[in-house]
Chains A and B, each alone.
Chain A
Amino acid sequence: MLKIYFLTALRSLLRNKSYSVLNIMGLALGITCSILLFLVIKYELSYDAFHTKADRIYRLNVDSNYEDGVFKTTSIHFPAVGILRSNNPGFEKITQLYGEEGGQITVPGNGKVAPRFFREEAGVGFVEPEYMDLFDFDTGGQDIRPLLREPNTIILTQSKADLYFPGEEAVGKTVKFNNTLTLKVAAVIPDFPTNTDFPFAYLISYASLKNYSPYDLTSWNSLVSNHTAFALLPEHSDVKAMEKNINTTLRKHMPEKRKANEVITLQPLDDIHFNADYGTYSQRTISKEVIWSMALVGLFLVITACINFINLATAQAIKRAKEVGIRKVMGSNQWQLMLQFLGETFIITLMATLISVILTELALPYLNQLLELKITFGIWNNPALQLFLALQIILVTLFAGLYPAFVLSRFQPITALRSRISVQQVAGISLRRALVVVQFTICQVLIICTFIVNEQMLYFRNKDLGFNKDAVVTSFLPQGQAIKLKALRHELLSNPAVENVTFGIAPPAGNITSLTNFGFNNSREDLPFQANLKFVDENYLDVFGLKLIAGRKFKDSENADANDSTLRVLINETMRRKLQLKSPEDALGKSITLSGGRTKGIILGVVEDFHQASLHDPIDPIFLVAQPQSYLYMMAKINVRHNKEALKHLEQVWYKAYPDDVFNYEFLDESIARFYQDEQRQSTLFKVFSFIAIFIGCLGLYGLISFMAAQRTKEIGIRKVMGASILNITILFSKEFVKLVLIAFLVAAPIAYYLMQLWLQDFTYRISIGYWAFILAGIATLVIALVTISFQAIKAALRNPIYSLKTE
């Protein structure tokens, strides 16, 4: 019996090739998307989930409360972990680490071989032995904990060892880190997995940090986001109680100022990859909302494909009516027929899934590139994926097949045998209409969202940030080398292709933020909000085109005056407003105090507001202050017409000044564009998936229309004989679908509006949703639908009426 069912199914698929191809293609596309999205979601959810104690690991964060909100940071004060170790409030283990975003490794040369430099973009972790107690990174069976106890020790990952010491034994060799630390390679371990928020290329013992860090590791003064701590809690711990204990313990040692507004909170490890409020060493988080919306998009695509199937199958049912009649006469009951048709759907779904597996394999590299992920497919050893596929096959079979099977098997044998089944009987026309509306609604929601996301991206790219970001080359200064800057600037400017040069803590908008409390106008009390302190030299305003609206710029020489320790300060408009000064002029000459009154400053001028971070964030109140020892960046404005020459010159001068440090530059507009990488990815994903949704929808529409054209051959013939033109006939077919597209639009527009409103809420600076995106999406869908329809309609209309009438 099964064999016969199988054969009937297969042969019927082969007989109706175009129908089968449309169906299988549509399903395969939908399923491919769902597999890809499944892989992405599974990958994102797998971040750091492989640590066996993952459910008991918590990060210690500091939340600082200010009048304008809570400032959340992943950092912990340098003395905190030591104190918590000696006064353990009840956790099993605690560890601190210091992560760097990258750095330079120098493999020293000898008489014969020149030293080699490697600029690493991947992270560097200064870790304690306890780090390995909490986290289960593969060490290739070695216990590296004793090695991490020693200062000046580095543990390389395999790929780095191969890179630095090709064909040699790396253990025992010496390397230099950022030309500051001389480190001995103590072990080589396998590369870190890709699905971790500790993306370290090598581990350096935490004991080495004191020789490297610019910060005082015993002081409470700094709260640096590179420095974090993780605690392992005993099983079934009361997290709130533990938080309270930690705070109580630390507050005994904390300076008064910090006590006033800082609270330590515990964040579960399984939250850190998904919580953008804090962040990770991998510099990326993905919100659960984004993950669920991806799942939703995947579901929508599969539903769209299933709807195609239902529509095509029910339309096709007329052709199968005779078979149903015969089988019933031969003694089949409805149940057996349902099983048979479900079986056919199962075969189609199975074929579609097999094709999807191949398509996924082909598409995955592109997706990885697009999302900058490293997902592997590995269907054979991925039980979760296998289960997902099996479940999907069953659900798609049921969802797509149940209704057509029910319709087909319900036919009365006599009616079926006499071919008296009409389209209307096969599927409530209204059901088919409703399904098409659902499909178009999904398409239009996706299109509208794509338009709006795209517009926001354009806005990001084109919004005036209040400073000039074009043609500025930036490079990290070597650590501890922020001297000789005057001479360096002079050298850099010796070529006219370099127009101007400035040094400072960071470009106007960047990742490095230094926040400080301060007092105003001789008050000893700090104000209830923090200032963003930007250390910059006298050329900063010119290089970035920051507009001075009152007062004057400071000169580097003023700040270098040994007899006058008063800081010359510029403030931005936001600061002026926060200080409740009526006009920019009112600010001039006013004093400020920093570092608890130890440092005094005087306001020399006010600059117009500029964005000091991405457009996700509001503009901070800012101080611009000269302080050469805090300059981290060299920033050069170059002449774009002599782009190459300028870069060459910069490089030459750089290596003359810093022969041991790689000239690793970046264009500012590119680094700013990276602020919106996540949104850019989402935007591209939206584009790809809405395109696929439309394509699947068109496949279905095409099939449906061809079928309708075939069904109405006689009608078309009669109409043509009566004098209908090709246009009349095309309109006849299009009318109904135009109506459906319009209904779908009415449903889609508010849904899309709501979703986009939600999405845009994340951005402090955002577009307002205009009606054009909706109109354009509506028109686009209509045009696409009409083109699909007309193709078949015109073909039907062109047929000779004599022939079409004869076939009846």
Chain B
Amino acid sequence: MKNLIIEARQLEKKYLTDTIETTALAGVDVSIAAGEFVAVMGPSGCGKSTLLNIMGMLDAPSGGNLLFMGNEIGRATERQRAQLRKQNLGFIFQSFNLIDELTVEENVTLPLVYQGVPQAEIKTRVSEALERVGIAHRRNHFPQQLSGGQQQRVAIARAVIGKPKLILADEPTGNLDSVHGREVMQLLSELNEAGATIVMVTHSPSDAEYAHRIINLFDGQVITERSAVAVANF
């Protein structure tokens, strides 16, 4: 049996407002093995982001089971989830979500600060991460001074610096032009080859080509699951 990072069984998520109940996920079964690069696709509103948020422990499921490294975390408290997040997960967002008041270097430092990593170690790791995404020369700039592609590379550096077991990327190229988008995908691909496990939500078939496996969602359910090569053959 493969070494599973995350496993969802009959995962459900319902949103309740005053009058309406919306089902975002209706019994989703998904498992992600270590070292995999998985793309989640589907039309707007199909539940991709909800699934990603739940896997990223930013949100709690309404039903079903969610196992992280074999442990049930579906009913973990916010505090426990925050703890798991900071030790195991890295995030990449469509809109980069860098803190405007912090420099590139300070933004990348953030996860290590919250993990309580010693100062000396932070320094070397940040340098390494910045080198790796090719943005070291801009370390003292503020996010607004960078192009979208550069900002996303900073966000990637921030996502990997804590050596997470799983990287979750939500439309990482959604705000980028094709050239920058390709750069970012290449970077993710390299990270994956170096051993990182990645789950990526995307609308873009060409981005999805980089993944090993594609999960298609529709109305909160998994409709197909196939290898990326198949997509290329469509």
Contacts and interface: CB of A to CB of B under 8 A. Distances in A.
**What interface size band does chain B fall in?**
20 to 34
B79 A8 contact: no
Contacts of A323: 99-101
Given A4-B102, A11-B101, A330 B59 contact: no
Given A328-B82, A329-B85, A12 B97 contact: no
A781 to B, nearest CB: 37
Contact of B91 (A1, A11, A15, A329): A329
B93 interface: yes
Given A4-B113, A8-B102, A413-B58, A331 B82 contact: yes
B53 to A, nearest CB: 5
A332 interface: yes
B98 interface: yes
B50 to A, nearest CB: 9
A333 B58 CA distance: 12
A347 interface: no
A332 B102 contact: no
A331 B111 contact: yes
B116 to A, nearest CB: 8
Given A7-B106, A414-B53, A330 B114 contact: yes
Interface in A6-55: 7-8, 11-12, 15
Interface string B78-101: 110011011100010100011111
Contacts of A4: 102, 106, 109-110, 113
A325 interface: yes
B97 A333 contact: no
Interface string B30-67: 00000000000000000000000100101100000000
A336 interface: yes
B101 A331 contact: no
A331 B99 contact: no
B86 A15 contact: no
A414 B86 contact: no
Contacts, number: 66
B7 to A, nearest CB: 22
Contacts of A336: 114
Contacts of A414: 53, 58-59
Contacts of B83: 331, 333
Contacts of B110: 4, 326-327, 330
Nearest to A9: B101
Given A322-B97, A333-B79, A7 B114 contact: no
B145 interface: no
B115 interface: yes
Contacts of B56: 329
A340 B15 CA distance: 31
Given A4-B106, A4-B113, A336-B114, A329 B101 contact: no
Nearest to A11: B101
A417 interface: yes
A432 to B, nearest CB: 23
A222 to B, nearest CB: 78
A255 to B, nearest CB: 85
B58 A329 contact: yes
Given A7-B101, A414-B58, A330 B86 contact: yes
A414 B82 CA distance: 13
Given A1-B113, A414-B58, A331 B86 contact: yes
Binding site of A, secondary structure by majority: helix, strand, loop or mixed?
helix
A331 B85 contact: yes
Interface string A309-345: 0000000000000110111111111101000000000
Nearest to B87: A331
A8 B93 contact: no
Contact of A332 (B87, B101, B114): B114
Interface in A415-465: 417
Interface in B149-198: 158, 162
B57 to A, nearest CB: 9
B97 A325 contact: yes
B124 to A, nearest CB: 18
Nearest to B99: A323
Nearest to B59: A414
Interface in A118-148: none
Contact of A330 (B78, B79, B111): B111
Greatest chain A CB density within 10 A among B83, B97, B106, B158 is at B97
Nearest to A332: B114
B161 to A, nearest CB: 10
B192 to A, nearest CB: 21
A260 to B, nearest CB: 81
Interface string B100-144: 111000100111011100000000000000000000000000000
Nearest to B142: A11
A322 B85 CA distance: 18
B85 A8 contact: no
A325 B97 CA distance: 9
A322 B98 CA distance: 9
A323 B98 CA distance: 8
B114 A15 contact: no
Contacts of A327: 99, 110, 114
B218 to A, nearest CB: 22
A412 to B, nearest CB: 8
Interface string A51-68: 000000000000000000
Nearest to A5: B113
Interface in A328-367: 328-334, 336
A331 B93 CA distance: 16
Interface string B16-27: 000000000000
A685 to B, nearest CB: 42
B100 A15 contact: yes
A413 B49 CA distance: 14
Contact of A417 (B93, B109, B115): B93
Contacts of A1: 113
B114 A12 contact: no
A410 to B, nearest CB: 10
B114 A8 contact: no
Contacts of B106: 4, 7
A7 B102 contact: yes
A125 B160 CA distance: 84
Contacts of A325: 97
Contacts of B86: 330-332
A446 B147 CA distance: 55
Nearest to A1: B113
Nearest to A331: B86
A413 B53 CA distance: 10
B10 to A, nearest CB: 22
Contacts of A413: 58
Contacts of B87: 331
Nearest to B103: A7
Contact of A8 (B82, B91, B101): B101
Nearest to B111: A330
B101 A12 contact: yes
Which residue of B56, B58, B59, B111 has the most chain A CB atoms within 10 A of its CB atom?
B58
A14 to B, nearest CB: 9
Nearest to A325: B97
A334 B113 CA distance: 15
B122 to A, nearest CB: 10
Nearest to A15: B101
Contacts of B58: 328-329, 413-414
20 contacts: A4-B109, A4-B110, A8-B102, A11-B102, A12-B101, A322-B99, A325-B97, A326-B98, A327-B110, A329-B58, A329-B85, A330-B86, A330-B110, A331-B83, A331-B111, A331-B114, A331-B162, A332-B82, A332-B86, A333-B83
Interchain residue pairs A-B with the least CB separation, the first 6? A331-B86, A11-B101, A331-B114, A330-B110, A330-B111, A333-B82
Interface of B: 53, 56, 58-59, 78-79, 82-83, 85-87, 91, 93, 97-102, 106, 109-111, 113-115, 158, 162
Given A4-B102, A326-B110, A330-B86, 7 more contacts: A7-B102, A12-B101, A327-B110, A328-B58, A330-B91, A331-B85, A333-B83
